[in-house]
Each structure stands twice: as structure tokens, then as C-alpha cells.
Amino acid sequence: MTLYEHDVIVVGAGGAGLRAAIAANEEGADVALVTKLHPVRSHTGAAEGGINAALRDGDSWEDHAYDTMKGSDYLGDAPAVETLCQDSPEETIQLEHWGMAFSREDDGRVSQRPFGGLSFPRTTYAGAETGHHLLHTMYEQVVKRGIQVYDEQYVMDLAVTDHEDPEDRVCQGCIGYDIKTGQLNGFIANNGVVIATGGPGQMYAHTTNAVAQTGDGQAMAYRAGVPLQDMEFVQFHPTTLPSTGVLISEGVRGEGGILYNSNGERFMFEYGYANNDGELASRDVVARAEVTEVNEGRGYENDAVHLDMRHLGEERITDRLENIIHLATDFEGVDPLEEPMPVKPGQHYAMGGIETDENGETCIDGLYAAGECACVSVHGANRLGGNALPELIVFGARAGRHAASEDGADAQIETGSSARTETADVDVPTELGRVETGSEDAVADGGELHSGSPKEVVNRALERQQERVETLMETDGINHADVRSDLQETMTENVNVFRNEAGLKQALKDIRACRERYQEVGVSDPSRTFNTDLMHTIETRNLIDQAEVLTLGALARTEFRGAHWRQSHQERKDEEWLKHTMVAWNDGAPELYYTDVILEGESKEYEPKVRSY
């Protein structure tokens, strides 16, 4: 066991983590990145489409904000959305100044293209591999600044003080498991911890997310007392390859790609799903249209529809979408220059996450979050394509900056249970939360709180995690992979694009069964060297917590908004549901409550309108 001490600890080194570290470094803080992968392995590298930024004459941040509020189905918070749209141009040009290889126009300026749900072609991109370029460009800047990176160091828990009310708690650091050596390390953060661990896509069997996307940061923050917000809003991307879940960028439709059903019909228009924008409607609209086509017998085998880009011509495809040719060929065995690609919706993005304000701060002092793991909230009920990468850089930078220095503007978004406006009562079919076994054999689940000086708090957390690891290593039990696949199966079956009450209740029961079985997991690899068995076992616990929160929120929300479709509730109910779902881990039991959506922006109020494309 070793104790490390830094001003700011950033957990996760994808787009948001790297940007947070650079920002904290620029504020003069001693910052360290702690990440379970090497930074260039982060999933930001798989993002394809682009970065929305109002850069050109005829466009404005106000228009970007309007499109984003509409896309969110009026569940975004205006102060957060406006911050995103105001900061994005500067952050995007910052990347250009750091040498990012954006695609270019004839005059040498960065190119922009149309994307779904946007009223102006404002998506800046680098081929169909924008995330790869963004990730590498920012990692280069981290190397340039000599920022300390602890790679292949899996953060298992946060070290948080044990005050009863989460809003009185302080985050003093975190605990890392050195994957290479099996050693546990304590990280003391003098100023703050920024969680930037990405989404929890591994809850689902069919996802565009990397295997490492297990939402560790969300689960840790949740158990430390930060509510998870709007987790029921899960984005299913309309174009993923059926056999693997590999993403086919919205850029394909942005450049003019067309969706067909098995009758050869351009169904987005012919069946009236989106009479104005067709394939470029918002993602939730297109995903539902595809599943409906398949359900009504107009799909191709594997539950797919066809995405055709051949008419764009080889030159244009090679110039702007070359990566798509490789992906379709390598992972689906289809040459998209010769034939259409089969596609279907796949889990892609978590709109919800760790509740933060627009400075990235949570209700726990010294604990910040940014990127997909956070919910500020800019995406509300549905994220527009091209809005994830600006979120990473805008809120990554803000979180890093604020963690490094106490200065900065006060946030307009209130966090924690004091922002609560309503307590919820929902009929659940099973017990939720911690399993009370009363047995000393029960597998330790982490997430304890501690008191004392920062060093004592970190040390106590360290001991607790050490004990947890020893128990998992000694226990012989079932393989975590069995539990994980059961969880993925029920989420895919019951908490997908289309949802109904019976299915959601079944999912809660299945998740409970997974949680109970988890009490019997054990790590059969006895080695301290690169024990991925141990790491995956801990990740699986995190997935269970998040799946439960998500499904609980989905069961409670009896309306149809954005990505959340409910069979018996086929309309958006603004009177009743213009509010954020919060689930907090209250002494081991999930507590559900609501806070108000903020529709009032800097100079205007965003009035909910019918969303048509």
C-alpha cells in the first residue's frame, strides 16, 4: 500500500478526464490522472461523428442551445445547455490550436457538416474518427505538460467523510488497485477529485460501448451519497452493426445516407416517422422507427434495416467517412461501397449520471464529475448527435478548473437533496438496495464512509478495500461473468427502446436476483499480477447498482419523453413530468425523489413545444 498526494485527482483519462487535467494544470494545480486503461485506450477514441460548435456566420450559440433544448425534449437545464453552447466554439478552436487534425474546407478552415436535430450544419469533425483525433490530441497535451498519469490503476472507491447528510460530506481522495501488481494505493486529493469514467453501456448486451464502460465512477459516487440523475434516459443509437454493436456514425446520414426497409421503402418518410427531416430526425425518433419496421415485419434478418450510402460516391465517402468502410468490412463483412449496411439500434449513451452543477461540482464537497458519467444536465431526455464531444471538453475543462481553484462563478443549478421538490412513491415488485445477509461470508460491497483527517479518511477507505479484495480473492464462488450476462440479458429484454410496466418490474426482480447471486461471487485467479478477474468482478457490482437505479427511474416515469418510451403512456406529460429523476443511495436503500427542470436561460425561457422533425 502506498499513499500518493496531489492537489487534484482525475479518475479516468478519456476526453473529459484529459481536458479536466489540462485545465487543473493550467490553474497551477499539481494534478494526477488515475485510469484503469492507458489514456489512449479510452473509449472517447471510438467516437466518430463530430463536435457541435457555432463557428460560422449565420449560426449562433443561441440556435445551438435552442436545438439542444428541443432535442432534450425539454428535460435539459437551460443554464447547462447555454454554457455548453457558449463554451463549445472556444473549446473546439482550442483543440485546433493544439494541432487536432480536423477535416478541412478549401479555404483551410475546419469543415462542418449537418447532423440529426440541428438547424445548421455545425458539426465539426475529423473524418469519421473525430474521437480518436480528439483523444490523442489531448493526451499529447498531457504529455507536453508532464502531467502525472497512473495508468492501469483501477479506482475501486472514493474516500469520503462519514457525515450523515451527503451535503456535509467531503471527498478526500480515492483508492486505486494497481492492476499490474495487485497493490492497493491511496490517493489523497487536497483540492478535489474529478470523476470522468464514462458511461455504463456494459449493462446491455448490445452496445456500442467498450468493454471497459462499466460506469465505475457513477456507482462509486452513488454509494458515496451523490444522487444519480435521469438514468432512465438511455440513448439507443439507430445505426449499429447487428453482429457486434459497432457504431456506424450519424455522419453517414449527415452526408446523405438513406435508411430502407425490406420492401425497399424509405420508411422515415413513407411511414411518416419524420416527414421533414427523415433520416436526420433526432436519434430516439429514428431508433423507434427502425424497431417498429422490424416488429411489423419489414426488417431484414437479424432485426435490421438497411443503411445505404453508395449514392454518395466513392470519392466523398473516402474523404469524409472512410472509417465506415473499414468498420463495415471488418466487423460485418459488408463492403458499403458495393451494398447497403445492415443496422439496428444499440445502447450508445447514458443521458443520465452523477448529478452536478454547471461547474461540474456534486453535492459532496471536493467531488466533481464530467463527461458521460455526469449529468449536468445538457442532454435531458435525448442527446443530439455531436453534443457528446463538446460536453467532454466544455465540462471537463470547467470541472478541472473549479477543482483546482475555489474561484469561479457560482452555479445556477442546485445539487443534492436540498434541491428536492418532491418525494416519490412507486410500487416496486421486490426489495431494492443492499442485501442484508447477516453473514460474515457475504462479499464486501465497498462504499463505506470514514471520519478524521484527509489521510485518516483515505487510510480507512484503503483498509476497507483491502479487506474487500482479500474476501473476493479467498471466496470461491460463482464467476462474475454469469451474473453480468444475466444482468445484460434482462436489461436488453426489458429496459430497451420500448418499455412497459410488466417488463420493467420483471427487470427489477431479475436485477435483485443478480444482486443476491453476487453475494456468492469469487475470484478464482489467485494471482496478484494483472488480475482482471478481480477487476471485472468489482465492475459487475457497479453495473448492478446502476441497472437498478435506471430501471427504478424508468418504472416511476409514466410518460413518453425523448428516449424513454412507455407502452401505456404514449404522450409527454409536461404538467406532471417536467422534472428530473433522482435516485440516492440512502444507507443502502435507493431513495427516489424529483427536482425541477430549469427552462429559464440567460435571456429567454425555453417553452416546451411538440417535437417534430
Partner 1 sequence: MSTHVSESESEAQAGTDQQTTDRPAAQQRRLEKKRARNEQRDQASDSTETDGQTVHLKVFRYDPEVKDKQEPRFDDFHVPSKKGMTVLDGLIYSRDHYDSSLTFRHSCRQAICGSDALFINGSQRLGCQTQIDDLDQPVRVEPLPHQEVVKDLVVDMEHFYDQMDTVEPYFQEEDLPSGLEEQRQDRENREKIKMSTRCIWCGACMSSCNIAAGGNYLGPAAINKAYRFVMDEREGEDLKQQRLETIEEEQGVWRCQTQFSCTNVCPKDIPLTEHIQELKREAVKSNLKFW
Q: Under 8 Å CB-to-CB from 317, ≥6 apart: which residues?
A: 255, 309, 324, 325, 336, 337
Question: Is residue 83 a contact point for partner 1 (CB under 8 A)?
Answer: no
Adjacency order of strands within the sheet including 579-586: 374-375, 353-355, 228-229, 579-586, 589-596, 422-423
Under a CB-based contact definition with an 8 Å cutoff, are residues 354 and 375 in contact?
yes
Interface mask (CB under 8 A) for partner 1, residues 29-48, using x and -?
Answer: --------xx-xxxx-xx--
Among 6, 113, 136, 348, indicate the residue that binds partner 1 (CB under 8 A).
136
Residue 525 beta carbon to partner 1: minimum distance, rounded to whole angstroms = 3
Residue 186 beta carbon to partner 1: minimum distance, rounded to whole angstroms = 15
Residue 528 beta carbon to partner 1: minimum distance, rounded to whole angstroms = 6
Among 112, 130, 137, 347, indicate the residue that binds partner 1 (CB under 8 A).
137
Which residues inside 528-557 make contact with partner 1, applying CB under 8 A? 528-533
Residue among 90 and 602 whose Cβ is closer to partner 1? 90
Stretch of residues binding partner 1 (CB under 8 A), selected from 21-29, 92-100, 547-555, 568-576: 92-100
Q: Which of 19, 122, 169, 283 is catalytic?
A: 283
Residue 476 beta carbon to partner 1: minimum distance, rounded to whole angstroms = 3
Which residues inside 552-581 make contact with partner 1, applying CB under 8 A? none
Residue among 332 and 559 whose Cβ is closer to partner 1? 332
Among 424, 522, 596, 608, indicate the residue that binds partner 1 (CB under 8 A).
522
Where do runs of H (alpha helix) occur along 43-155?
Answer: 61-71, 78-97, 130-144
Residue 274 beta carbon to partner 1: minimum distance, rounded to whole angstroms = 28
Among 107, 410, 425, 571, indicate the residue that binds partner 1 (CB under 8 A).
107
Buried b / exposed e across 370-400, counting CB within 10 Å, b at 16+? bbbbbbbbbbbbbbbbbbbbbbbbbbbbbbb
Residue among 522 and 608 whose Cβ is closer to partner 1? 522
Residue where the block lists cell 451474473:
483
Residue among 181 and 506 whose Cβ is closer to partner 1? 181
Under a CB-based contact definition with an 8 Å cutoff, are residues 65 and 601 in contact?
yes
Which residues inside 457-486 make contact with partner 1, applying CB under 8 A? 466-467, 470-471, 473-477, 479-481, 485
Question: Which residue pairs, CB below 8 angstroms and at least 24 apart, start in 332-337?
Answer: 332/241, 332/242, 332/243, 332/244, 332/246, 336/309, 336/310, 337/310
Among 31, 212, 294, 350, indicate the residue that binds partner 1 (CB under 8 A).
212
Q: State the Cα–Cα distance between residues 341 and 322, nearest whole angstrom.
A: 14
- Catalytic annotation present for 283: yes
Strands 367-369, 353-355: parallel, antiparallel or unpaired by DSSP? Answer: unpaired
Residue among 93 and 424 whose Cβ is closer to partner 1? 93
Do you know the residue count of the chain? 613
Question: Is residue 318 a contact point for partner 1 (CB under 8 A)?
Answer: no
What would you measure as the largest C-alpha separation in the chain, in angstroms?
Answer: 70
Number of residues lying near partner 1 (CB under 8 A):
77
Residue among 142 and 285 whose Cβ is closer to partner 1? 142
Query: What is the tally of helices (H) and strands (E) in the chain?
Result: 15, 22
Phi, psi of 576 (to 5 degrees): -100, -35
Q: State the Cα–Cα distance between residues 335 and 338, nearest whole angstrom.
A: 5
Rounded to 5, what percent of the chain is helix, strand, coil? 40, 20, 40
Q: State the Cα–Cα distance between residues 250 and 73, nearest whole angstrom.
A: 20
Question: Is residue 120 a contact point for partner 1 (CB under 8 A)?
Answer: no
Stretch of residues binding partner 1 (CB under 8 A), selected from 105-113, 160-168, 277-285, 493-501: 105-113
Q: State the Cα–Cα distance between residues 111 and 125, nearest whole angstrom.
A: 7
Residue among 97 and 609 whose Cβ is closer to partner 1? 97
Under a CB-based contact definition with an 8 Å cutoff, are residues 32 and 150 in contact?
yes
Question: Is residue 331 a contact point for partner 1 (CB under 8 A)?
Answer: yes
Q: Under 8 Å CB-to-CB from 540, ≥6 apart: which residues?
A: 214, 480, 481, 483, 484, 487, 518, 521
Q: State the Cα–Cα distance between residues 72 and 384, nearest whole angstrom.
A: 8
Question: Is residue 127 a contact point for partner 1 (CB under 8 A)?
Answer: yes
Phi, psi of 444 (to 5 degrees): -60, 140
Residue 414 beta carbon to partner 1: minimum distance, rounded to whole angstroms = 32
Which residues inside 53-72 make contact with partner 1, applying CB under 8 A? 55
- Start-to-end CA distance of the chain, whole Å, equals 56
Residue among 47 and 226 whose Cβ is closer to partner 1? 47
Which residues inside 335-374 make contact with partner 1, applying CB under 8 A? none
Among 162, 330, 335, 339, indicate the residue that binds partner 1 (CB under 8 A).
330
Q: State the Cα–Cα distance between residues 299 and 154, nearest whole angstrom.
A: 42
Q: Under 8 Å CB-to-CB from 207, ≥6 apart: which residues?
A: 201, 213, 245, 346, 347, 348
Residue among 102 and 395 whose Cβ is closer to partner 1? 102
Which residues inside 165-184 make contact with partner 1, applying CB under 8 A? 180
Interface mask (CB under 8 A) for partner 1, residues 412-451, using x and -?
Answer: ----------------------------xx----------
Question: Is residue 133 a contact point for partner 1 (CB under 8 A)?
Answer: yes
Question: Is residue 226 a contact point for partner 1 (CB under 8 A)?
Answer: no
Question: Is residue 96 a contact point for partner 1 (CB under 8 A)?
Answer: yes
Residue 219 beta carbon to partner 1: minimum distance, rounded to whole angstroms = 18
Strands 184-195, 2-11: parallel, antiparallel or unpaired by DSSP? Answer: parallel
Residue 397 beta carbon to partner 1: minimum distance, rounded to whole angstroms = 16
Residue 208 beta carbon to partner 1: minimum distance, rounded to whole angstroms = 8
Our CA angle for 413, 418, 450, nearest 5°, is 105
Question: Could you tell me how far CA 558 lies from the centroid of its own chain?
Answer: 23
Question: Is residue 49 a contact point for partner 1 (CB under 8 A)?
Answer: no
- Bridge partners of 155? 176
Which residues inside 230-249 make contact with partner 1, applying CB under 8 A? 243-244, 246-247
Question: Is residue 315 a contact point for partner 1 (CB under 8 A)?
Answer: no
Residue 191 beta carbon to partner 1: minimum distance, rounded to whole angstroms = 26
Question: Is residue 262 a contact point for partner 1 (CB under 8 A)?
Answer: no
Question: Is residue 210 a contact point for partner 1 (CB under 8 A)?
Answer: yes
Q: Which residues are catalytic?
A: 283
